[in-house]
C-alpha cells in the first residue's frame, strides 16, 4: 500500500502506544473516543507475559456512554502500519476498527484507526476482580518488560498529560498495584525497567491539527486502507477491518 505522504492516516493509542509508540509519526496530540471503556481484559504472552504466565494489557470494550482518553498519531509513511500489524495483531491478538477521534476541547473530530482485542482472540482473559487483575500484573513480565511498567506508565501518562481523564478501572488498578509493590517490598525501579521514554506532543490549541484542511484527505486515506487487502481483508464489514496473519 502506498500512502499519501502529504496527509497520511491517524492511529489512536490508549495503551502502550501512549508512551512508547515505536514508529515514526508527523503529528501527535491527545483526545478521546466515545462509546468505549478501557479494560485490562486482554492477555499477553509476548510483550508483558509468557505462555505460562500471561500478563494483562488494555483493550477497549463497547460502553454506550463511555469515553476513553488517549493519544493520536498521524503517520505518513509505509512503515508504521506493518509495524503495528506485527506488534498489535500478530503478536498481540488485536484487530482494527475505524472510529472517530475528538480533540480534548470537543470542537474537532476525524476518523482514526484503533487496535482492539475481543473475546474471540486466543489471548483473551476477560473480566476479573480488580484485585485479582492487579495481583496478576505484579507477577508477570515479558520481552518488553514487566507488566507493572505497562500499567504504571499508562496511568502516569494520563495523570501528566490528560489530567481531566476519568478512568476508574485504570486508576483503581494503579492503586492496587502500588499497594502490592509496597506490601511485598518490590523494587519499583527494577519493575519500571530503569529507563525513560520521550513523549513528544504538539499543542492542539495552537496547531489545531490542521483538521479543516486535512479532513477530506483523511477520509480518502481511510477509505483506501479499507479497500486495500494488503492490510485489511476486503470481505469483512466496512467498520471492522480484521488484521491479516503474518
| Helix, strand, coil fractions of the chain, as percent rounded to 5 | 35, 30, 40
Sign of CA dihedral 33, 150, 128, 158: negative
Count CB atoms within 10 A of the CB of residue 35.
14
Which set of grid coordinates corresponds to residue 93? 491478538
Q: Give the gyration radius of the chain's Cα atoms.
A: 18
Which set of grid coordinates corresponds to residue 182? 509496597
Which set of grid coordinates corresponds to residue 214? 486535512
First vs last C-alpha separation in the chain: 16
Distance between CA atoms of residues 27 and 16, nearest Å: 17
Q: Catalytic site residue 149? A: no
The residues with which 73 forms a beta bridge, in sequence order, are: 11, 28
Sign of CA dihedral 204, 209, 215, 219: negative
**Catalytic residue among 24, 88, 139, 210, which?**
88
Catalytically active residues are 88
Amino acid at each position: 500500500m502506498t500512502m499519501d505522504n502529504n496527509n497520511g492516516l491517524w492511529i489512536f493509542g490508549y495503551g502502550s502506544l501512549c508512551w512508547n509508540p515505536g514508529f515514526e509519526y508527523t503529528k501527535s496530540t491527545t483526545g478521546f473516543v466515545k462509546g468505549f471503556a478501557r479494560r485490562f481484559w486482554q492477555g499477553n504472552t509476548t510483550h508483558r507475559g509468557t505462555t505460562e504466565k500471561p500478563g494483562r494489557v488494555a483493550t477497549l470494550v463497547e460502553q454506550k456512554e463511555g469515553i476513553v482518553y488517549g493519544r493520536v498519531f498521524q503517520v505518513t509513511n509505509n512503515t508504521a502500519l506493518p509495524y503495528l500489524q506485527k506488534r498489535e495483531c500478530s503478536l498481540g491478538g488485536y484487530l482494527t476498527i475505524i472510529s472517530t477521534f475528538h480533540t480534548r476541547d470537543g470542537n474537532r473530530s476525524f476518523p482514526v484507526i484503533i487496535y482492539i482485542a475481543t473475546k474471540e482472540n486466543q489471548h483473551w482473559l476477560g473480566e476479573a476482580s480488580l484485585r485479582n487483575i492487579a495481583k496478576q500484573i505484579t507477577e508477570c513480565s515479558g520481552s518488553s518488560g514487566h507488566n507493572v511498567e505497562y500499567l504504571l506508565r499508562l496511568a502516569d501518562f494520563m495523570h501528566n498529560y490528560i489530567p481531566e481523564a476519568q478512568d476508574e478501572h485504570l486508576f483503581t488498578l494503579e492503586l492496587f498495584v502500588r499497594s502490592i509493590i509496597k506490601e511485598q517490598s518490590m523494587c519499583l525501579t527494577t519493575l519500571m525497567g530503569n529507563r525513560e521514554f520521550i513523549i513528544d506532543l504538539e499543542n492542539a490549541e495552537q496547531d489545531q491539527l490542521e483538521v479543516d484542511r486535512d479532513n477530506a484527505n483523511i477520509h480518502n486515506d481511510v477509505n483506501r486502507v479499507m479497500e486495500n487487502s494488503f492490510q485489511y481483508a476486503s470481505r469483512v464489514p466496512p467498520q471492522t477491518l480484521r488484521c491479516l496473519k503474518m
